[in-house]
Each structure stands twice: as C-alpha cells, then as structure tokens.
Amino acid sequence: MDSIVLTAVKTTFSRLLAGKSRPVTETTVDSERAARLRNRVVDDLVADGTIVSARVEAAMRTVPRHLFAPEASLEEAYHPYNAVFTKTDEHGATVSSVSAPQIQAMMLEQAGIAPGMRVLEIGSGGCNAALIAELVGGSGEVTTVDIDPEVTARATRLLAATGYARVRVVRADAENGVPAHAPYDRILVTVGAWDVPAAWTAQLAEDGRLVVPLRMRGLTRSVAFERTGDHLTSTSALVCGFVPMQGAGAHQEQLLLVNGTNAIALRFDDGLPADPGLLDNAVRTPRAEAWTGVTVGRQEPFDTLQTHLATVLPGFCVMAVDPDLDTGPVTPANKWFSLATVDGDGFAYVTTRRTPDDASVEFGVHALGPGGPALAEAVAGQVRAWDRERRGGPGPRVSVHPAHTPDDRLPGGRVVDKKHSRVVLSWPPQD
C-alpha cells in the first residue's frame, strides 16, 4: 500500500506542477496517512519542549508539509529533525531546503508571531511561509523573498496549490530587505547569515523582532533580536544549522591547510592569523595532551562551552580532518568539527574520550607546535573555567550595532566586526 501511495503522491504533483491537475483539495493523495505522520511529529516536538505555544502547535498540525517536499517520501518529509534538500549547486552543495520541523517550530516560537502581524521571511521554500500565514491569520501579511528564481517559482506554485496564494513571493537579493512592504513586525531569516545588513534593522518596526541564524566566529545560533533604536539585543540564542546566504550577503570561511599534511584544515570565519607560516613546523613536533577532568553525559548539551571558547580564545577556529588523507598527527573525536585555536607557531583542539563507566565523556586538549604543552594546558584551563563558571547557565547576550559604532558605545564583551555591523557577545555576571 505504501508504494502505491508514494506513486500517487508523485503522479499528483507531476500533474499539479504542469498545471494539469485538479486542486489539491480534490486529489487522491493519502492525506489521512500524512496527517497521522504530521501529528506524530508535532506530538514529539511538544514532548521534547520545542513547541510550547498552542498557536504554533495548531499551525504545525495544519500545514501539509509533505506537499512542499514532493521529492521526499512521507517518512522523510515528516522526520522531526531532518531537513529535505530541494536544490544543489554544480558541486553538489545544498543551496535550498525545507527546514526540519524541529527548526521551523523552534524559530516560530522564538518569533512570537501574532494574528494581524506583517512578517517578512528571507529565504523561500513555501512551507515556512505557509506556517507563518497560519499564525498571522487573514488580517496579517506574509512576504517571502529569495534571490533564486527557481526557488521563488517553486514557492509560488506550491503556496498556490496548497491554499496559501495570499503569501507574497518576491525575487530579490535580501541584502536590502523588501522595502516596499515595510515596516515588518517580524523578520525571519531562514538561511545562514554571517552579517545583519542595516536594511533589516531599518525595516523592522520599533517594537519588532528579528530571528536569524547568525554565524559568529564559526558558530551558528538562531538568535531572536528585539530592536532598540539603531541596534538589536538578543532575547534567545539556540543551536541550529542552515544553508548559507547567497548574493551580496554571502561570506566564505577561509581555510588554512596545515603544512606537512593535506588532511588538516583550520577554518577561520573572520580572517586568517597574521602570519600563517608560523605553523609550518607544528605537525613535526610531538603532540601534547592535557585532560581536564570535566565530563558530560552522552545527551547533555554543551553549546555554551563552544561559545565560551569562541569568546576567550583570540585564535579561535574550527578544525576539520579529511578521513581519507589523515596520517595521524591529530586524532579528534569529531573529524569534521572540532573546536580549535591558533597561537603563534602552534595550534590546539578540543577532543573527548570515554569515561571508564562509558556513561559520559571527558574533555581533553591536544596541541602541536614548540609550545604545545603550555598551549594544551591553557585551553584545558578554559574548559575548566567553563565548568566552574558557566556550565548550566545562560549563554552570552548577543547585540548587533551599526558598523560605525565607536568602542565606547559598545557593551563589554567579545566584539566581532563584520561588514555592516559590530556583533558583541556579552556574558552575564557570575554569582
């Protein structure tokens, strides 16, 4: 029966997109089975605390997500924590997707959308715009914008086919927002952003809210900002991942391949070290190790450790190791994403090992370079400082200020300078 249902779904959508099908409400798609899967996803997200409001819950139960992801099976479309990739570039990298239900619900909860609001979505796909349309109701307005004509054409077709033709679809580079329909009570960015253009703040209502997956020192957080005059201040920041922004807002990380091996790449979000050549002999020195005694359970989050190290280590970066080329000078627990730092002629990264009872893992630091032992111990000391002072507490407050803002008008904290803005991460005082 399942294969027949999936064939019917694909056949229906082929005809629909070709303009030869009856309206979706009259199709023979197995809507009852899709509804069961959709309700199960929502039940899971309510149970894990992602969905906390009745309005977001109702919207998630209403919008037929699978109709916005015809490439996927019903099971794939309704997996709570997986996105559906809808377009790749010539290199196979994903450039457009339908975000995972968990991410959609999380950002909608951060946004706090109410009936009658005017909302701008940056990054189109259709499904999230339909969810926003449910939340604003008939008296509200939804505008969704994307730079890719294929994406906007697809969103237009699918929104019309599912009964959300009132959503306004605009093709433009979102670096300048969509001024024609501003101001907006809410702006939701559903692509990974490295910066916050001035237009987004300017087009936000004075008491409005911006929710954006913002990349700061290589770490991405979905940050909910409220506007205060010319700057933004965060109310929440949650771990997430998104396909990167295209167009004028695109920003590429810079890679430093460690000399002596093609396997180790250090990824810098805000520029390479002043003299990368100092690392040329780092891998020719013995590896130093420092174990911290700090442990975490297998399911325990430690995202504040990431942001702590990003704010206290001047040379913070992310290390990635090609498993096909790795010759063994480094042995990270995660070959694709390890917290790291460069200090002069050496570099260090954070790793883990299982505890004897196998119930948790212990953080440790490996370092290479002439000063490896001292560097390993210095980074290990910062892991211990996180354990003492910040573990289990709130993450840093994030504020975004215009790029011309002088230092004496910024709050204290780690300043990350970008093209359009100065982003400040400020930790709350410790008890």
pLDDT in tens, 391-411: 999 999 999 999 999 999 999
H helical segments located in 235-302: none
CA distance linking residue 223 with residue 232, whole number of Å: 10
The answer to whether the pTM exceeds 0.75 is yes
Write the CA distances from 46 to 39, 105, 255, integer angstroms: 10, 10, 40
Instruction: Check residue 9 and give its pLDDT.
Output: 34
Helix axes 127-136, 101-111, angle to 10 degrees: 30
Q: How many CB atoms lie within 10 A of CB 362?
A: 17
Q: How far apart are CA 358 and CA 40, in angstroms?
A: 32
List CB contacts of 297: < 8 A, sequence separation 6 or more: 359, 360
Q: Can you name the residues that pair with 87 across neighbouring β-strands? A: 96
CB distance 217 to 269 below 8 Å: yes
In CATH, which of 3.40.50.150, 3.40.50.300, 3.30.70.3270, 3.30.70.520 is domain 2-249? 3.40.50.150
Residue 257: CB partners within 8 Å, gap ≥ 6?
Answer: 264, 265
Residue 127's pLDDT is 97
What's the pLDDT score for residue 223?
98
Runs of H (alpha helix) within 48-100: 54-62, 74-77
Q: CA 391: distance to chain centroid?
A: 22
Is the distance from CB of 416 to CB of 423 less than 8 angstroms?
A: yes
Task: In whole angstroms, give the CA distance from residue 154 to residue 48.
Answer: 32
Q: Return d(Cα 150, Cα 158) in angstroms, integer.
A: 12
What are the φ and ψ backbone dihedral angles of 150, each rounded to 5 degrees? -65, -40
* pLDDT digit string, tens, across residues 133-184: 999 999 999 999 999 999 999 999 999 999 999 999 999 999 999 999 999 9
73 in catalytic set: no
Q: How far apart, in whole angstroms, are the C-alpha atoms of residue 359 and residue 347?
A: 30
Q: Are 248 and 224 in contact (CB under 8 A)?
A: no
Which residues in the chain land under pLDDT 50?
1-29
Residue 73, C-beta contacts closer than 8 angstroms, at least 6 positions apart: 6
pLDDT value of residue 292: 98
Catalytic residue, from 21, 31, 53, 96: name it: 96
